Structure 1
Amino acid sequence: MKNHKNILVALLFIIAFFSAQQMHAQFPLPPEVPIWDANKVTLQLHKISANVYAVSPSTTETETAKGIPQATSAGFIVGDKGVLLIETMLNKRLYDQLLKLIRSVTPKPIIYAVNTSDHGDHCFGNYLLPKETVLIQNEFCKENLSKNYENIKQFMIMLFGKDRGIEQSVYRPADLTIALNQSIKLDLGGGKIVEIINTGTAQSPADLFVYLKDSDKNVLWAGNPFIAESPAIPWLFDGYFLEPVKNLQKIYDMIGDNDVVVPGHGRITNKAGIKFTIDYVNALKQNVEDAVKKGETLEQAKATITMKEFDKGYVLFNWLHYNFNLPNAYNDIKKNSLGK
């Protein structure tokens, strides 16, 4: 019986190994790897209002508008009861920087931590959190990380390079999950009530939005669905399109013109700053619907749907538009049209 178990374990390892190799072979790599270097990123603190802070790479102010991909943004809110942290970053180096910025403001405990995605740059620092911290994810995020943590690590190494501290990350399960189309409100004390929203897929099925409605300023942590302002376009490489279009619009409509928006990978902005994402996905949807009605193949659609009006200098435009966004839109819209 023991030998059978050993053989089964070996077979499972071989299957996982070759699955990872196939993923590496099939996944089109961006023009430069790493996309950004976690060994070089310096995080910077931004005070948005009393006890509300965003954290982003020091380069976001000068490089976002130039179309240079930026490392992950984060943030935290301080209430009477303690701190709510948004994101735990890719590696220990960045987590330690984030913690140091928190401690420059408050000695209060981190009572909650939220991952807005199951991508490793948002959650691989979870294992470094204090044991008492309640870790919050959506239901899909917890399930996917529990089943695929090592594969996700290999995927992140493929995009962000070896020896960036990714290898050291170990899985920590979420303590609290939010179901599809549900939200929870957390009272941190001191008038800080935070809503954490699972709209469904807005970039991936693991998405969460963090929304603080405050007497001073409302703040939305938008995560990967709104990755940055123009010229950045969305990263829809998780295989979805029509649902993200709907849910991006839902979040956009929810926030006010004067709300502060902290994108997943860019400088702090506002509702007008994330409209470029809405305009891009709506234009892509219309273009692909027209192509499908004409009976165009995917290759024909790629040749005609160049969308040059949105190609404003984002380094990853061609990689995302032609390898992921357009094909996912085509496949989703064609499948939807056949089902009618």
Structure 2
Amino acid sequence: MKISITNIAIMVLCCINLSVMAQMPAHVPIWDGNKVQLKLHKLADDIYAITPTTVEEETAKGIPQATTGGFIVGEKGILMIEVMLNKRLYDQQIKLIRSVSDKPILYAVNTSDHGDHCFSNYLLPKNTLIIQNEFAKENLAKNFENIKQFMVALFGKDRGIEDAVYRPAEITIPLNSNLKIDLGGGKLIELMNIGTAQSKADLFVWMPSQKIFWAGNPFIAESPAIPWLFDGFFLEPAANLKKLYDFLPEDAVVIPGHGRITNKAGIKYTIDYVEALRSNVESAVKDNLTLEQTVAKLKMPEFNKGYVLFDWLHYNFNIPNAYKDISSKRKNNN
């Protein structure tokens, strides 16, 4: 599905410290933080996902969905996954949590430094410990206002984004490190910073005993969604996405960053797209095509199956970032 593109002034993208000339989709907001309704899904005893009410109907239609999240209740208290874009959605999330348990929220995990995953940190109880990967904390500390401006541009004015106040994380996880949290009662959670899978701020939530995985932004949703590789990287995300996919058991339950609950097979489309994009761009670079020629050539219709944001992502971000990394690697190897 083709959508028209409009230019926007230089902005600082969420997860990098460089200003870039970005283009925004014509349909802003991509999803409306003033309208999204959240619902609860029980995954196992005291383990829940939280998703928009529209995910079951709209994911397969290629309609972008709001942020997913969840929470785990242990003997000691609760670990919350994501805090959502604005107070309206945060309040819904807290209400769903309190419909299950009145235990204290001990931890809140942000799987990204994108605002829809972390902007409501300031609303958390004072005693709740916020967990991010190390880069996420550093980037939010330096660029919070720029990230806020980008989120307003992407999700619209007067969606509560302007009210966000920076609150630093108390716990950070360095690159290539894991943190295990035992909530008691068999609720052991592993937080994984494996490196860039979409952005340098990625953090993954894994429950090995229950085989439940919160995938965050690197796995946005099932087909026809394609990955949002707009943070300036390609080769490292391509490798880490495959690493994550191979790591997951066949019967894992997967909660994508912005789609319905699925399984390992449900995120294979992302892997297939990234591998096809890499192969196509490698061929283009080998044939000495320019970036403009490569963008014009790589339509990849087998992956253009109705995702509303396909053109915006594929032509403006995914191809250029793949071309940048692959051409640089080829140049360095010569």
What TM-score does the superposition give when structure 2 sets the normalisation length?
0.94
For the pair 1:22 / 2:10, whether they are aligned, the reply is: yes
* Cα distance in structure 2, aligned partners of 1:73 and 1:179: 24
In the other structure, the counterpart of 2:195 is: 200
> What one-letter code is carried by the residue in structure 1 that aligns with 2:97?
I
Equivalent position SS for 1:151: helix
CA RMSD of aligned residues (A): 1.1
* Cα distance in structure 2, aligned partners of 1:249 and 1:75: 24
In the other structure, the counterpart of 2:127 is: 132
> What one-letter code is carried by the residue in structure 2 that aligns with 1:114?
V
> What one-letter code is carried by the residue in structure 1 that aligns with 2:285?
V
Q: Superposed, which structure 2 residues align to 1:245-324 within 5 Å? A: 245-324=238-317
Contact kept, 8 Å, 2:9 with 2:22, in 1: the verdict is no
Equivalent position SS for 1:77: strand
In the other structure, the counterpart of 2:17 is: none
Runs of 5+ consecutive residues of structure 1 not aligned to the other structure = 1-19
Equivalent position SS for 2:23: coil
* Cα distance in structure 2, aligned partners of 1:255 and 1:324: 27
- TM-superposed CA distance for 1:27, in Å, is 1.5
Q: Deviations over 1:270-327 (max 9, x none)?
A: 0000000000000000000000000000111111111100001000001100000000
For the pair 1:98 / 2:93, whether they are aligned, the reply is: yes
In the other structure, the counterpart of 1:178 is: 173
- TM-superposed CA distance for 1:23, in Å, is 1.8
Runs of 5+ consecutive residues of structure 2 not aligned to the other structure = 1-7, 13-19
In the other structure, the counterpart of 2:44 is: 49
For the pair 1:33 / 2:21, whether they are aligned, the reply is: no
- Point out the more displaced range, 115-124 or 22-31: 22-31
For the pair 1:75 / 2:62, whether they are aligned, the reply is: no
- TM-superposed CA distance for 1:21, in Å, is 5.1
* Cα distance in structure 1, aligned partners of 2:194 and 2:227: 17
> What one-letter code is carried by the residue in structure 1 that aligns with 2:105?
I
* Cα distance in structure 2, aligned partners of 1:123 and 1:68: 23
Out of 307, 322, 329, the position equivalent to 1:329 is 322
* Cα distance in structure 2, aligned partners of 1:21 and 1:128: 31
Out of 54, 63, 67, the position equivalent to 1:59 is 54
* Cα distance in structure 2, aligned partners of 1:284 and 1:245: 10
* Cα distance in structure 1, aligned partners of 2:132 and 2:196: 14
- TM-superposed CA distance for 1:26, in Å, is 2.8
In the other structure, the counterpart of 2:186 is: 191
- TM-superposed CA distance for 1:22, in Å, is 2.6
Comparing both structures, which one devotes a greater share of its residues to helix?
A: 1
Equivalent position SS for 2:83: coil
In the other structure, the counterpart of 1:8 is: none
Q: Superposed, which structure 2 residues align to 1:165-244 within 5 Å? A: 165-214=160-209, 217-244=210-237
Q: Deviations over 1:49-95 (max 9, x none)?
A: 10000000000000000000000000000100000000000000000
- TM-superposed CA distance for 1:256, in Å, is 0.8
Contact kept, 8 Å, 1:70 with 1:266, in 2: the verdict is yes
Moved >2 Å (runs of 4+):
none
Contact kept, 8 Å, 1:178 with 1:198, in 2: the verdict is yes
* CA separation of 1:21 and 1:325: change in aligned 2, threshold 3 A: closer
Equivalent position SS for 1:299: helix
Equivalent position SS for 1:265: coil
Q: Deviations over 1:208-234 (max 9, x none)?
A: 0000122xx311000000000000000
